[in-house]
Amino acid sequence: MNDMIFITGFFICILLIWNIIERKKIRASTAPISTPELNARFNFITAFGAFLVLAIGYLGLNDQKKVTDRIYSEIKPKADSLITNVGRQVQSLDSSLANKNILKAGIYIVSDLKFRGDSLYKFSSLRTIDNKSLPQFKTAPKILISTKEGFTVPIKFITDSSFEFYRPYGFLLAEEGNYKRPETATLTKIDLWIADYKTEK
């Protein structure tokens, strides 16, 4: 639009200069020129200049209208669609983050599990701290054991469906607040942290 204004101003300047030159020629000419002829010449120049100004203005407004129509017919719907899709993705992400919990993150906590050495534990029979079942693992998960007494419980094996502890000889077990040797005490409670890295949620 600025270019069109510049061109319009440029043509107006040319017309003004041409008008001045014509006036000087008429004044310098010795041949008599009738007043109607002069009026006709200047009227033609004025009309031609006005026509150019109107034509340039019309072309500028027409181009601006075409650009505006294209923006509203092509670009604006695409932009609105993009904004809508982004909004939906943000809402979906917010919903997913809001629904994330310890189960969906692949970390499961089993609290106060009764410990017995040489006993088989099946994942399907365990419940998490929020009273939910463990998923069906596709591979053997990682298990971290925590005890109130601070001792280490050795694991004999872990599969995708079960695990088993060794019998913990060589350290004391707590049974109802009293410490006893494994030969006489076989019951205590432990916490399990189970990490699943490959099961699809």
**Which residue would you say has higher pLDDT here, 183 or 77?**
77
**pLDDT band of 126, cuts 50, 70, 90:** very high
Same domain, 52 and 85: yes
- Least confident window among 12-16, 109-113, 142-146: 12-16
**Where among 48, 79, 99 does a domain terminate?**
99
What is the average pLDDT score of the chain? 69
**Where among 72, 99, 126 does a domain terminate?**
99
93-113, pLDDT tens digit by residue? 666 555 554 445 588 999 888
Q: 163 and 169 in contact (C-beta within 8 Å)?
A: no
Same domain, 181 and 120: yes
- Least confident window among 16-30, 101-115, 135-149, 183-197: 16-30
**pLDDT band of 127, cuts 50, 70, 90:** very high
Is the residue at 200 inside a domain? no
Number of domains forming the structure of the chain = 2
Rounded distance between C-alpha atoms, residue 79 and residue 68, angstroms: 15
Same domain, 9 and 42: yes
Same domain, 7 and 88: yes
Same domain, 172 and 188: yes
Rounded distance between C-alpha atoms, residue 157 and residue 120, angstroms: 10
% of the chain beyond a pLDDT of 90: 13
Is the residue at 14 inside a domain? yes
Q: Write down the pTM of the prediction.
A: 0.41
Indicate the SS3 state at residue 39: helix
> How many Cβ atoms sit within 10 Å of the Cβ of residue 16?
12
Is the residue at 57 inside a domain? yes
Same domain, 158 and 94: no
What is the average pLDDT across 67-83?
A: 69
Q: What is the pLDDT of residue 54?
A: 65
Same domain, 113 and 188: yes
What is the average pLDDT across 158-166?
A: 90
CA 45 vs CA 12, 19, 35, 53: distances in Å: 11, 8, 15, 12
Structural domain containing residue 121? 107-195
Q: What is the pLDDT of residue 121?
A: 92
Q: What is the pLDDT of residue 103?
A: 47
Q: What is the pLDDT of residue 151?
A: 67
What is the average pLDDT across 38-53?
A: 64
Q: What is the pLDDT of residue 146?
A: 80
Q: What is the four-CA torsion angle of 27, 29, 32, 34, rounded to 10 degrees?
A: -50
What is the average pLDDT across 42-47?
A: 64
